[in-house]
């Protein structure tokens, strides 16, 4: 599936439907990208090494979990029981979130929290990070979801 991401502003999120599930495309600001490696100690699996639920593609096995540091592509389904987490990009204290919130996602069903790379915080119901689907760029502005150099995504 192809998405044209030309003209996405920093901080913008788009949701597209891929195989019946929401896929988020988020253009992070440089400050958000710079902040990502700083809270690794609070995360359950900062390097995305777990493979029990989903395997993170090699090109996303980094702290920003993406090919380009700014563009994040995630399947917007919580690995716990399948709700779609809400975007809570605003940092700082707010309802249902810790006071040192850095911006990220909150699952409304059972309260799992994820950072702006979709990595789950420790001691949360979700057993894994949000899934990164296989994807690749064709040119600068065309994003292909569900397919990369290794071929089509498996079920």
Partner 1 sequence: MSFQEKQLPADASFGDKALNWIDARFPLSSTWKAHLSEYYAPKNFNFLYVFGSLALLVLVIQIVTGIFLVMHYKPDANLAFASVEYIMRDVPWGWLVRYMHSTGASAFFIVVYIHMLRGLLYGSYRKPRELVWLFGVGIFLCLMAEAFFGYLLPWGQMSYWGAQVIVNLFGAIPFIGPDLSLWIRGDYVVSDATLNRFFAFHVIAIPLVLIGLVIAHIVALHEVGSSNPDGVEIKDTVTESGIPLDGIAFHPYYSVHDIFIVTIFLLIFSAVVFFAPEMGGYFLEYNNFIPANPLKTPPHIAPVWYFTPFYSILRATTSDFVYWLQAGVAAYVALIILRTRLASKCKIAAAVIGLLIIVGMFIFDAKFWGVVLMGVSVMIMFGLPWLDTSPVKSIRYRPGWHKYIYIVFGIAFIVLGYLGVQPPTPVGTAIAQVCTFLYFGFFLLMPWWSATGTFKPVPARVVYHPH
Give the active site residues: 110
Q: Is 83 in the site for partner 1 (CB under 8 A)?
A: yes
CB-nearer residue toward partner 1: 5 or 83: 83
Q: For 19-146, where are the E strands, in sequence order?
A: 21-27, 71-75, 86-88, 104-106, 113-115, 135-138, 142-145
Q: Is 94 in the site for partner 1 (CB under 8 A)?
A: no
Q: Is 141 in the site for partner 1 (CB under 8 A)?
A: no
Chosen residue from 12, 37, 111, 150 binding partner 1 by CB under 8 A: 111
- For 57-88, b where at least 16 C-beta lie within 10 A, e where not — what string? bebbebbbbbbeeebbbbbbbbbbeeebbeeb
Q: Is 57 in the site for partner 1 (CB under 8 A)?
A: no
Q: Is 108 in the site for partner 1 (CB under 8 A)?
A: yes
């Amino acid at each position: 599936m192809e998405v044209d991401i030309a003209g996405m502003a920093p901080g913008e999120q788009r949701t597209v439907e891929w195989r019946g599930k929401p896929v988020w495309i988020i253009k992070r600001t440089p400050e958000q990208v710079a902040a990502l490696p700083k809270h690794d100690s609070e995360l359950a699996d900062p390097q995305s090494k777990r493979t029990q639920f989903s395997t993170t593609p090699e090109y996303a096995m980094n702290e920003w979990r993406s090919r380009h540091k700014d563009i994040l592509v995630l399947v917007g389904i919580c690995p716990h029981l399948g709700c779609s987490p809400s975007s809570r990009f605003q940092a700082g204290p707010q309802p249902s979130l810790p006071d040192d919130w850095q911006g990220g996602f909150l699952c409304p069903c059972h309260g799992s929290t994820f950072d702006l790379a979709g990595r789950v915080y420790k001691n949360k119901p979700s057993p894994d990070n949000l899934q990164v689907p296989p994807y690749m760029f064709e040119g600068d502005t065309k994003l292909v979801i569900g397919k990369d150099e290794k071929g089509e995504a498996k079920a």
